[in-house]
């Protein structure tokens, strides 16, 4: 199996760092990249081939993913909300993709079980309604993982200090998926 990993937002935050915690300055682009690199490392150690791209161009991401020969696509993000109390983990899959929904469920379960984050569930992106570009423009089963809320103090603590645990959980979710389809 080959996995295409997409840490969210622009490299080094230029021009788009994604969500930023106003208190600590923690940036989504940095968290996503660190976790994405660790996920790749864990998957590679388990014999899973990976390709990783962080880019500010969604079109470039989708084109490279589609050309990569990857079996699945995983985009890694941090959530944010105006309401500081918003918290938890959610994983998005594309409408009509049963394998994408299975992959999302595997990753969601691993993160929630390993880190005790609030389970916001698997969400479905519908093209033309709330379709997330990278989910609706990739050719393979694809998910977008919102690890936790960077805007929530407790979740921010997890994002800042438990990146290895998050990476292990995402990697385990991917290998759980691989086992479930074989």
Quick: pLDDT tens for 46-73: 999 999 999 999 999 999 999 999 999 9
Would you place residue 25 in the very low, low, confident or very high pLDDT band (cuts 50, 70, 90)? very high
DSSP state of 13: G
Would you place residue 131 in the very low, low, confident or very high pLDDT band (cuts 50, 70, 90)? confident
Residue 112 is part of a domain; what is its CATH number? 3.40.630.40
pLDDT attached to residue 29? 98
CA distances from 170 to 12, 129, 152 (A): 22, 27, 21
What distance in Å separates the CA atoms of residue 108 and residue 110, rounded to the nearest whole number?
Answer: 6
Structural tokens at position 11 = 């490299």
Q: At what angle do helices 163-181 and 28-45 cross, to 10 degrees?
A: 50
pLDDT attached to residue 7? 98
Q: Are 50 and 40 in contact (CB under 8 A)?
A: yes
From start to end of the chain, where are the E strands?
Answer: 2-7, 49-52, 72-79, 89-94, 119-125, 142-149
Q: Is the pLDDT confidence value at 130 over 90?
A: no
The residue-averaged pLDDT of 11-40 equals 97
* % of the chain at pLDDT higher than 90: 96
Would you place residue 106 in the very low, low, confident or very high pLDDT band (cuts 50, 70, 90)? very high
If one counts the domains in the chain, the total is 1
Domain extent, residue 57, equals 2-181
């Amino acid at each position: 199996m080959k996995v295409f990993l997409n840490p969210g937002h622009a490299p080094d935050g230029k021009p788009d760092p994604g969500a930023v915690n106003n208190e600590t300055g923690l940036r989504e682009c940095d968290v996503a990249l660190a976790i994405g690199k660790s996920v790749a490392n864990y998957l590679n150690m388990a014999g899973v081939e990976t390709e990783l791209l962080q880019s500010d161009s969604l079109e470039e991401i989708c084109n490279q993913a589609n050309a990569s020969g990857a079996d699945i696509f995983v985009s890694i993000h941090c959530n944010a909300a105006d309401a500081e109390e918003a918290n938890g983990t959610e994983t998005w899959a594309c409408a009509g993709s049963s394998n994408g929904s299975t992959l999302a469920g595997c990753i969601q379960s691993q993160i929630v079980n390993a880190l005790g984050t609030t389970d916001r569930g698997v969400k479905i992106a519908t093209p033309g309604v709330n379709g997330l570009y990278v989910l609706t423009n990739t050719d393979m089963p694809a998910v977008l993982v919102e690890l936790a809320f960077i805007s929530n103090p407790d979740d921010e603590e997890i994002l800042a200090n438990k990146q290895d645990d998050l990476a292990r959980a995402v990697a385990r979710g991917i290998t759980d998926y691989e086992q479930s389809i074989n």
